[in-house]
Amino acid sequence: MRLVLASNNAKKLAELQALFTPLGLELVTQGSLGIAEAQEPFHTFVENALVKARHAAHESASAAIADDSGLSVEALGGAPGVLSARYATLFDRPKSDADNNAVLLEQMQGKSARAARFVCALVAVRSADDPEPLIAMGRWEGQLLDSLQGEGGFGYDPLLFIPSLNASVAQLSAEQKNALSHRALASVDLLQQMREVWHLG
């Protein structure tokens, strides 16, 4: 069974393909099929993932999967949230990991509450008008650091400290991150739903 991934991220494709291979699913990116990215107009991870999955399914006439993920900081009311990838642009700064991290640190100045989490919503649909989309959520709890720590990963990885591991996400190996992350947690949930509802595997 072919599953269209509503992303052109090669790392995401490789990560998810390894997870879904046991179910007999072949993942292909929407870009390889000439499908443009969908708009993401909503305020929640679930809604944006759903619109991306439905768009990919509609354009490819096949089943599709999409994720929407980011960082949610309690002291900032959940921001940067769905705007995580372009958070700096809200403050007239360039869109980049470095600027996003710098802006976040500025917004957190003087705040003692540092609870934050990476959040991932994974959505799978059998068709564009599937009335029963599979929805899985993964949350990776941590604390925001006062400065960047670690060289690995990307995005906000150097700023999210995982107390149980005594390390920032950027200090973890790729294997550790892929096994423990918000996307890994959501993937495990989605795989189980696919087995139960789609009768795969």
pLDDT in tens, 18-57: 878 888 888 999 999 999 999 999 999 999 999 999 999 9
Second-level CATH architecture of 2-197: Alpha-Beta Complex (3.90)
- Spell out the domain ranges in the chain: 2-197
Catalytic site residue from 67, 68, 92, 157: 68
Sequential pLDDT tens for the chain (201 residues)? 899 999 888 778 887 888 788 888 889 999 999 999 999 999 999 999 999 999 999 999 999 999 999 999 999 999 999 999 999 999 999 999 999 999 999 999 999 999 999 999 999 999 999 999 999 999 999 999 999 999 998 999 999 999 999 999 999 998 899 889 999 999 999 999 999 999 987
SS3 readout for the chain: CEEEECCCCHHHHHHHHHHHHHHCCEEEECHHHCCCCCCCCCCCHHHHHHHHHHHHHHHHCCEEEEEEEEEEEHHHCCCEHHHHHHHHHHHCCCCCHHHHHHHHHHHCCCCCCCEEEEEEEEEEECCCCCCCCEEEEEEEEEEECCCCCCCCCCCCCCCEEEHHHCEEHHHCCHHHHHHHCHHHHHHHHHHHHHHHHCCCC
Please state, rounded to an integer, the average pLDDT across all residues of the chain: 95
Question: Is 68 in the active site?
Answer: yes
